[in-house]
Amino acid sequence: MTQKISLCSVSLGVEGMTCGSCVQSIEQRIGSLNGVIHIKVSLEQKHATVVYDTTFQSPESLSEAIEDMGFESTLPVCAT
Amino acid sequence: MTKHEFEVNMTCEGCSGAVSRVLNKLGGVQFEIDLPRKLVVIDSDKDVEVLLETLKKCGKEVKYIGTK
């Protein structure tokens, strides 16, 4: 069985982080989600760059997961 | 209403802000956060398990201390 994997990268705005431990908990929790390949959260720029498998995740579902953690998340204005 | 005390590993206002946002989303709870002592006191009729799961959503270590 061959599987087609299509990867996508998205940059989400994240509001409400103030320190390194906020960043860490987001990276850990979102990074362990199904279909998330890589995540990098920037505290200074207030965004999270996520590389994900489009079969499992979408920008909306990722943003929702961040909101679920108690942070405010915004979808990118233009897709990357 | 029962007062439940939790120890949540919060390190900054961002962490406590996240905790209060998830609790507000859950609804039906009143709570106080003591950041320096890392305590969250929740006044609610909800199950301890439900509260614990909600607090864990923030990605922090949570410990149930007991009723107050």
Question: What distance in Å separates residue A28's CA from the closest CA in chain B?
Answer: 8
pLDDT in tens, A19-66: 888 899 999 999 999 999 999 999 999 999 999 999 999 999 999 999
Q: ipTM exceeding 0.85?
A: no
pLDDT of residue A55: 93
In sequence order, the β-bridge partners of residue A68 are none
| CATH class of residue range B2-67 | alpha beta
Average the pLDDT over each of A16-25, A62-71, B32-41 and give the range with the smallest value: A16-25
pLDDT of residue A78: 54
Of A17, A68, A70, the CB nearest to B19: A70
pLDDT of residue A1: 64
Of B14, B19, B58, the CB nearest to A18: B14
- State residue A33 phi and psi, 5-degree precision: -70, 150
User: Average pLDDT of B45-64?
Assistant: 91
- Find the closest chain A residue to B24 by CA distance: A70
* Residues with Cβ within 8 Å of residue A52, at least 6 apart in sequence: A7, A8, A9, A10, A35, A36, A37, A62
